[in-house]
Structure 1
Amino acid sequence: LETACKEDFASKNYTIITSKCKGPNYPATVCCSAFKDFACPFAEVLNDEKNDCASTMFSYINIYGRYPPGIFANMCKEGKEGL
């Protein structure tokens, strides 16, 4: 069972992603580097599968950026460990 995320993703500023990663083309290099700039400070909680931080963060990214579902997961790959 997942525990609630202790990081408050509702109150984060997502403009680091939404100002750079824009449709209709969503350039992977731009979008993925913007995503990493945002997410890396929270890597520890995001990579912990016992909480719902990652799904919570992605839902807010999609709300603010109106991105296609799974765009970052499908586009941003850096080896088998992911980002």
Structure 2
Amino acid sequence: MGFKICFVLLLFFFLLGIATSSFLDYDTPKTSVEKGRSLLLKNSYEEAKQMYFEDKKQCAFVNNMNYTIVTSQCTRQPLSYPVATCCKSLKRLMCKYRDQLNPNPKCAFFMFENLHNKGKYPPTILKYLCEQFEGKKKDLDCFGY
């Protein structure tokens, strides 16, 4: 008798769940008009995106740089990256293109972005290694490179 009641209740709730789920609409209402802050955010995002791609066009040479200068020499050792080797190879790469990197500082940003993507380096590791090797400096010293 108890089994029959449990079966009937289970069947009842199962059918109730199927019947009511078809009436519910879980989608959020879509409006064609954007208002207030969302419009400002959308416009600022679009402007930032457009500026990013314009800057990237000005720095097109960055995509053709030979990053193997760094990625072949600056490889992770068991505990960390070799500080001197990584910093020297990064300086060699940057000094090779210094005349193109100097006029537009955003090109250096794109260079590091590509270098991190190609070498799979953690963020800011190369900056940290060079600060550790040479100390904090404002300018890049390319004497001898």
Return the TM-score normalized by structure 2.
0.48
Give percent identity, aligned residues only.
Answer: 34
Higher relative contact order (CA 8 A, sep 6+): 1
Question: Structure 1 CA distance, aligned partners of 2:95 and 2:59?
Answer: 16
Match of 2:93 among 31, 38, 59: 38
After TM superposition, the score normalised by the length of structure 1 is 0.79
Q: Are 1:76 and 2:130 an aligned pair?
A: yes
Deviation at 1:26, TM superposition (A): 1.0
> By how many angstroms is 1:18 displaced?
0.6
Aligned pairs, number: 82
Could you say if the C-alpha distance between residues 20 and 37 of structure 1 is closer, same or farther in structure 2, counting changes exceeding 3 Å? same
What is the correspondence of 1:57-72 to structure 2 with a 5 Å cutoff?
A: 57-72=111-126
* SS of structure 2 residue aligned to 1:52: helix
Structure with the higher fraction of residues in helix conformation: 2
Provide closer, same or farther for how the CA distance between residues 74 and 47 of structure 1 changes in structure 2, counting only shifts above 3 A: farther
Q: Unaligned 5+ residue runs, structure 1?
A: none
Query: How many Å apart are 1:46 and its aligned residue?
Result: 3.0
Q: Distance in 1 between matches of 2:88 and 2:95?
A: 10
Structure with bigger gyration radius: 2
Give, as a single letter, the amino acid of the residue that structure 1 aligns with 2:112.
Answer: F
Residues 17-61 of structure 1, C-alpha deviation per residue, up to 9 Å, x if partnerless? 11100014211100000101111122244344x541111000000
Distance 1:6 1:59, change over 3 A: closer
Distance 1:37 1:7 in 2: 20
